[in-house]
Chains A and B, each alone.
Chain A
Amino acid sequence: MSDALAGRAAPAVEALLRGHRLRPWEALPWLAAAAAFFAFPDYLALGSQILINILFALSLDLILGYAGIVTLGHAAFFGVGAYTAGLLAAHGWGEPLSGLVIAGLVAGLVGLVSGAIILRTRGLTLLMLTLVIAVMLQEAANKAGSITGGADGLQSMQVAPVLDLFRFDLYGRTAYLYCLALLFLGWLAARRIVHSPFGRSLTGIRENEARMHAIGSPVFRRRLTIYAIAAALAGVAGALLAQTTQFVALEVLSFERSGAVLIMLILGGVGRLYGAFIGVPLYMILQDRFAQADPVYWDFWIGLLLIIVVVFARGGVLGLAERIARRLSGRR
Chain B
Amino acid sequence: MSAALETQGLCKSFGALAVASDIEFRLEQGARHALIGPNGAGKTTFVNLVTGVLTPSAGRILLDGDDVTALPQAQRVKRGLARTFQINTLFRGLSVLENVCLAIGERLGVAGDLYRPAGSRRDVVDEAYAALERLGLAGDAKRLVRELSYGRQRLVELAVALGLKPQVLLLDEPAAGVPSSESGIIVDIIESLPAEIALLIIEHDMDLVFRLARRITVLVQGAVLVEGAPQEIAADPRVREVYLGEREPA
A residues neighboring B (CB under 8 Å): 2, 5, 10-13, 15-21, 192-193, 195-201, 203-204, 207-208, 210-219, 222, 225
Contacts and interface: CB of A to CB of B under 8 A. Distances in A.
Contacts of A16: 95, 97-98, 101, 118-119, 125
B74 A218 contact: yes
A239 to B, nearest CB: 22
Interface stretch (B3-11, B84-92, B228-236, B240-248): B84-92
A20 B119 CA distance: 7
Interface residues of B, number: 50
Contacts of B129: 10, 12-13
Nearest to A216: B77
Contact of B90 (A10, A199, A208): A208
B97 to A, nearest CB: 5
B73 A214 contact: yes
Given A208-B92, A218-B74, A12 B141 contact: yes
B118 A215 contact: no
B82 A214 contact: yes
A216 B77 CA distance: 5
A197 B118 contact: yes
Nearest to B95: A12
A214 B47 CA distance: 11
Given A193-B114, A198-B113, A200-B98, 15 more contacts: A16-B95, A20-B120, A196-B117, A197-B105, A198-B114, A200-B118, A201-B105, A207-B94, A210-B53, A211-B90, A211-B160, A214-B161, A215-B160, A217-B74, A218-B112
A192 B97 contact: no
Given A12-B129, A16-B125, A211 B114 contact: no
Given A5-B126, A20-B119, A214 B141 contact: no
Contacts of A198: 111-114
27 contacts: A2-B122, A10-B138, A11-B142, A12-B129, A16-B125, A19-B117, A192-B117, A193-B114, A197-B105, A197-B113, A197-B118, A197-B121, A198-B114, A199-B114, A201-B111, A204-B94, A207-B90, A207-B93, A208-B89, A213-B73, A214-B83, A214-B161, A215-B102, A215-B106, A215-B160, A216-B74, A217-B106
A73 B102 CA distance: 30
Interface of B: 51, 53, 73-75, 77-78, 82-83, 85, 89-98, 101-103, 105-107, 110-122, 124-126, 129, 138, 141-142, 160-161, 163-164
A316 B98 CA distance: 25
Contact of A200 (B105, B141, B142): B105
B117 A195 contact: yes
A97 B98 CA distance: 39
Contact of A199 (B74, B118, B160, B161): B118
B118 A15 contact: no
B115 A192 contact: yes
B118 A20 contact: yes
A229 B83 CA distance: 32
B141 A216 contact: no
A-B residue pairs, 9 tightest by C-beta = A216-B77, A12-B141, A20-B117, A12-B142, A207-B91, A213-B73, A215-B103, A17-B119, A198-B114
Nearest to A191: B117
A234 to B, nearest CB: 18
Contacts of A222: 112
B111 A197 contact: yes
B118 to A, nearest CB: 5
B89 A211 contact: yes
A260 to B, nearest CB: 27
A196 B122 CA distance: 13
Contacts of A211: 85, 89-91, 160
Contacts of B51: 214
